[in-house]
A and B are shown apart, each in its own frame.
Chain A
């Protein structure tokens, strides 16, 4: 199971070195930072930085890569993690159990003997402790068949090591958060191209993102929140303007362009006479909510110092203009979700 980061790149090479045939599997949850960056790619951004790293690794090592989209099932893991969240909205233990379970199914489907990952003992606080690694192995049904080549010598021997399919002596004993051993090994393998930070691209660990998601959950949206709702939590500035409504304000041109796609299902606002953001209103809509959204839009447009600003409001096919006073900065601060 690979992300395409440094650790999985090294793990794949260690196993290939033993003459073992490798088939890679990569899971798409929809919460990878690269997914977001692709959506709001700024002009001139190097597309190479947006490439799929698992495919890159597959091509470099000549191994087939199966990408499996688990984004829909992943929503339940995110909303109701049995083992809770890490520091933010990252359900790392449940996430790993789900992925390893899927990897086991794939292993059985293709008749493989074991699953291996680039996990390093003690590298991540939530999911890579010794006990947690064992728990994940057990819960995913992979007992004895889940190998972590980078830390294998510090872990109990797996079935495939005991049976001699994998030579344990040629595996490693990496431990902890330092990247130096991996960097040294990368040099030995003459690896020059790998993403930084290695594989750690999940934005569920972003504190700002987590606050927005928990705000959504706390306002009656936990059961019904869709991928779209959760994606919107990643974009723009967010303002909780009433118990049941919030406003999302684009921060730059590409973000505005992407938010515009959501304007079909939500009211959207823009300044008529000034350059400014695209604003979306999410939740229960009434005139008070729309006026507040218009004032926030005015606050972030180039006409924010004007006494009154005209704002175009689009609701489906209906378009009208509101004339409002821009929100004062201290008022905006009070509603801003940080």
Chain B
């Protein structure tokens, strides 16, 4: 079994909607199955990232907070534009 490709998206210092916009742009360029590791210090990402995944159908594998930072892992589930 091959390991899924992982790409880091560091959006620390950026506030909504920038992290979600950058995630959407990046994930669109990847193959299905790729995991995007999102680093963010926007407190609201704890709500925005699960909501974005829910509405777009990509899978939120993990979301954890370390101090002021949040680390999210999102797997690309499809090739639809939205």
Residues of chain A touching chain B, judged by Cβ–Cβ distance below 8 Å, are: 23-24, 28, 34-35, 38-39, 41, 45, 47-48, 50-52, 55-56, 58-59, 62-67, 69, 110
Which residue of B16, B55, B57 has the most chain A CB atoms within 10 A of its CB atom?
Answer: B55
Contact call A55/B55, Cβ cutoff below 8 A: yes
Docked CA distance A35–B43 (Å): 12
B4 an interface residue at 8 Å Cβ cutoff?
A: no
Select from chain A the residue with minimum beta-carbon distance to B56. Answer: A64
Instruction: Name the A residues within 8 Å of B33 (CB-CB).
Output: none
The 7 closest A-B pairs by CB, nearest first: A58-B55, A47-B43, A59-B54, A51-B47, A64-B82, A59-B51, A55-B51
A35 lies within 8 A of B15 (CB): yes
Q: Are A110 and B42 in contact, CB atoms less than 8 angstroms apart?
A: no
In the bound complex, what is the Cα–Cα distance between A38 and B41 (angstroms)?
11
> Cβ of A38 and Cβ of B50 under 8 Å apart?
no
- Is B55's CB under 8 angstroms from A110's CB? no
B52 contacts which of A34, A50, A65 (Cβ < 8 Å)? Answer: A65
Residues of A with C-beta under 8 A to B52: 55, 58-59, 65
How far does the Cβ of B75 sit from chain A's closest Cβ, in whole Å?
A: 17
19 contacts between A and B (CB under 8 A): A38-B16, A38-B42, A38-B44, A45-B43, A47-B43, A47-B46, A48-B47, A50-B43, A51-B44, A51-B48, A52-B44, A52-B51, A56-B47, A59-B55, A62-B54, A63-B55, A64-B57, A67-B20, A110-B82
Across the interface, do A52 and B55 meet the contact criterion of CB distance under 8 Å?
no
Check if B51 sits within 8 Å of A58, measured CB to CB: yes
* B61 contacts chain A at the CB level, 8 A cutoff: no
List 12 other contacts, CB 8 Å, given A41-B43, A56-B51, A69-B17: A23-B82, A35-B15, A38-B15, A38-B16, A47-B43, A48-B44, A55-B55, A59-B55, A62-B55, A65-B55, A66-B82, A69-B18
Chain B: CB-nearest residue to A51: B47
Q: Which residue of A lies closest to B55 (CB)?
A: A58
The CA of A41 and the CA of B43, in the complex, are separated in Å by 9
B81 → chain A closest CB, angstroms: 7
- Bound-state Cα–Cα, A289 to B14, Å: 33
B27 to chain A, nearest CB (A): 13
Return the contact of B47 from the options A28, A41, A47, A69 (Cβ within 8 A): A47
Which one of B18, B21, B51, B55 contacts A51 once the chains associate, using CB atoms below 8 Å?
A: B51
- A120 vs B15: C-alpha distance in the bound complex, in angstroms? 30
Residue of A whose beta carbon sits closest to that of B44: A50
* Bound CA–CA A187/B42 (angstroms): 32
Chain B positions 24-68 with a Cβ under 8 Å from a chain A Cβ? 24, 42-44, 46-48, 50-52, 54-57
A293 CB → nearest B CB, Å: 27
Name B64-82 residues within 8 Å CB distance of A.
Answer: 81-82
Tell me which residues across on chain B come within 8 A of A34, comparing CB atoms. 16
- Quote the shortest CB–CB distance from B59 to chain A (angstroms): 14
Please, which residues of chain A bring their CB within 8 A of the CB of B16? 34-35, 38, 50, 52
CB nearest to A56 among chain B residues: B51
Instruction: Looking at the assembled complex, report how far the CB atom of A109 sits from the nearest CB atom of chain B, in whole angstroms.
Output: 9
Q: Does A39 contact B15, Cβ atoms closer than 8 Å?
A: yes
Contacts of B24 in A (CB 8 A): 66-67
Tell which of A28, A52, A110 has the most Cβ of chain B within 10 Å. Answer: A52
A67 touches B21 (CB 8 A): yes
